[in-house]
Amino acid sequence: MQKLWGGRFSASADSFAEEFGASISFDKRLAPFDIQGSVAHATMLGTCGIISAAESQAIVDGLGKVRAKLEKGELEFRLSDEDIHMNIERYLTEEIGSVAGKLHTARSRNDQVATSFHLFVRSSIVDVVEAFQELQSRLVEQAVEHAGVIMPGYTHLQRAQPVLFSHHLLAYAQMLQRDIDRAIDLYDRANVLPLGAGALAGTTFPIDRHLSADLLGFAAVYENSMDAVSDRDFVLEFLSLASIAMMHLSRLCEEIVIWTTGEFGYIELHDSLSTGSSMMPQKKNADFAELVRGKTGRVYGALVSLLTTMKGLPLTYNKDMQEDKEGCFDTVDTLLGSLTVVAAMVRTWKVKESAMRTSAAGGFTNATDAADYLAKRGMPFREAHEVVGRLVKHCIANEKALLDLSLIEFKSFSSLFEEDVFQALALETVVERRTSYGGTGGESVNRQLEVARELLCRTTAWVDAATPIVRR
């Protein structure tokens, strides 16, 4: 079969080599973006008088027909056409004949693929921002629903100090906000047009790259044609923010796995989001949380893979760069899928408030406050720490909690203890007194909720502004 670049060649490609070099099996996902880029290019060529208005119109109409067939699932892509760009051009030729050959005037597949991929990443950014926000709303919802519930906060997975469950959930909402901010920040850097860079050096035709950019909703054009076709840092940044977000999700999922164990029993997942064992009838496993934790690995893999692919490449385009797509597509699917399943778990889990509280009441989570009590009454904190350490040792030996001790027992460790120590060490007091900015006290958590609601609105406004641009 005649290749679109066949003029220079005498022998046809070996079929193994053809298959090895082809990208159509995966880059077909770029089809709508390739067509979008070509419509803009053909329009620009017509407007600039590089092809006639009639030719431009014929190409745009033909691309419309190709798009309609694509949407109906009627396009069958051929391996012999190598990649999505040449498959689409072949279909365009079938629709409108030889005038289709004018579309590639002043263009190379190098700036063409970079353009399609920018359009794909730009649109994926909006998808992931929406999915981040959805999970964030579910967390905020749970924080409100379970306001006032006390759980143990941990360091080293050992009970440390009591916190509000809402405070714990809002920590993740904040992490997700930074994930959102990273994505929004990347949007502006990815929203730049490579088209018009040609193969690497620009073109002799009087093109108008700013017109192409306007037509595609790009805010700017690449300043340097060699940079435009060479770099994939916009993909790397996407993979990097996705890796960080998966790390956040993986930590939340790890907590879900822990919290659903019989030993913790802080939450129970909805039946539809957990699975049983084929042998052990009693089992209810947090499989989906484990899967999200596990899938984090493939997203990191995509990042490291592309960083490695790119690191030794001389300017400008090299075929190595065809390896940029699969990991990115897989990452978009993995991240969106993970966010959806985690949001569903959070929305439907049953929170066992009394198990959290009971656990928070053990483990001497009020020991810091006992030391603070003495320190506020004049004892140097280091000394107070030592006194309370001995108190805790005494309690462990007698299988008691601090609040089980009598005032006489307290006083035998320090005469500074008075009747109000019981009030000071109560779980509610311990939590409520953490009034410092960002602390777990109720007032601070309410303020965090206010902030979270404002951030949710800000994200909605951003999505509403970006959506018509990326969905045009």
What does the per-residue mask of binding to ligand ARG show for 420-449, with x meaning CB under 6 A? ------------------------------
Check residue 23 for interaction with ligand ARG (CB under 6 A). yes
12, 25, 272, 277: which one is catalytic? Answer: 277
Name the minimum Å distance from CB 98 to ligand ARG. Answer: 23
Rule CB under 6 A: say whether 322 interacts with ligand ARG.
yes
Please report whether residue 110 would count as binding ligand ARG according to CB under 6 A. Answer: yes
88 vs 249, beta carbon nearer ligand ARG: 88
Residue 321 interacting with ligand ARG (CB under 6 A): yes
Helices within 260-366 (DSSP H only): 287-310, 325-348, 353-361
- Which residue's CB is nearer to ligand ARG, number 113 or number 215? 113
CB of 113 closer than 8 Å to CB of 84? no
Residues 6+ apart with CB under 8 A from 230: 200, 313, 315, 316, 317
378 torsion bin: left (phi>0), alpha (psi -120 to 50), beta (else): left
CA distance linking residue 452 with residue 180, whole number of Å: 13
Q: Would you tell me how many other CB atoms lie within 10 Å of the CB of residue 454?
A: 10
Asked if 83 interacts with ligand ARG (CB under 6 A), we say yes
Q: Is the dihedral of CA 409, 412, 414, 416 positive or negative?
A: positive
CB 228 → ligand ARG: shortest distance, Å?
13
Burial 359-369 (b: 16+ CB within 10 A, else e): bbbebbbbbeb
Least separation in angstroms between CB 163 and ligand ARG: 49
Compute the least distance from the CB of residue 142 to ligand ARG, in Å: 43
Instruction: Decide whether 109 or 248 has the Cβ nearer to ligand ARG.
Output: 109
> Quick check: is 156 catalytic?
yes
For residues 80 and 359, which CB has a smaller minimum distance to ligand ARG in the complex?
A: 80
Among residues 314 and 378, whose Cβ is nearest to ligand ARG? 314
Q: Is residue 109 at the binding interface for ligand ARG, with CB under 6 A as the rule?
A: yes
* Cα–Cα distance, 93 to 351 (Å, whole number): 61
User: Judging by beta carbons within 10 Å of its beta carbon (0-12, 13-18, 19+), is residue 60 exposed, middle or buried?
Assistant: middle
Of the listed pieces 279-287, 319-327, 337-345, 457-465, which binds ligand ARG according to CB under 6 A? 319-327
The pairing of beta strand 192-193 with beta strand 158-164: unpaired
Candidate list 35, 66, 113, 371; residue touching ligand ARG; CB under 6 A: 113
* Site for ligand ARG contains 111 (CB under 6 A): no
The one catalytic residue in 156, 278, 354, 436 is: 156
End-to-end CA gap in the chain: 35
Catalytic positions, written as ranges: 156, 277
Residues contributing to the site for ligand ARG (CB under 6 A): 23, 27, 83, 109-110, 113, 317, 319, 321-322
